[in-house]
Structure 1
Amino acid sequence: MKYSTNIDPDKSAKAYGYELHCSKKDAQNLARAIRGMKTADAKKYLQEIIDMKRALPAIYHNGKRAHQKGIGPGSYPQKAAKHMLKTLENAENNAE
């Protein structure tokens, strides 16, 4: 897969998921939420979404989303979070 930026392979790893059976809109919101996080923090964040302890703020495609306390429109996209967690673990394994 062609990426938009070239990154140092000694300090980073790549992984992507394709043809996943989850909402593209939820996956886009999840990717925006974990962008820039450390892997341990991102895994914890995704696990909290799967366990329904933390709601994901809906920045994109937020029409008809229920209001969640403290964040505004949001939801608990468990299916997309599970796929994102697998992809993140795959990237972590690729780094080794």
Structure 2
Amino acid sequence: MLVGKKAADYFRFRNYQIEASFSGMTDTPSYEDARVVATTVRDLFVSEAVDQVILAYQEFVSMGTQRVAVRKFLPLESMQTVATEGGGDADFTCALRI
């Protein structure tokens, strides 16, 4: 799944299979734009069409520097894993609903 015309053009040109593509969003997407993308991601994950979701994007550092950022989005880490890796106990739990 791709967000942005440049990403879609890049992967289409290289004949990658694209499950979904969204373009025409600004640098500050609206709530509706985010909801549509999030719903598509959720549906692909819940239906087990994909087993994980990884976000890859350009992270703005300064006017002259951008770096590639890669973040695991789904599946969420268990609270046990988060507490262990963080070196302490979790004081709360968070339910994410998209």
Provide the TM-score with structure 2 as the length reference: 0.25
Higher relative contact order (CA 8 A, sep 6+): 1
Higher helix share: 1
Higher strand share: 2
Greater CA radius of gyration, 1 or 2? 2
Provide the TM-score with structure 1 as the length reference: 0.26
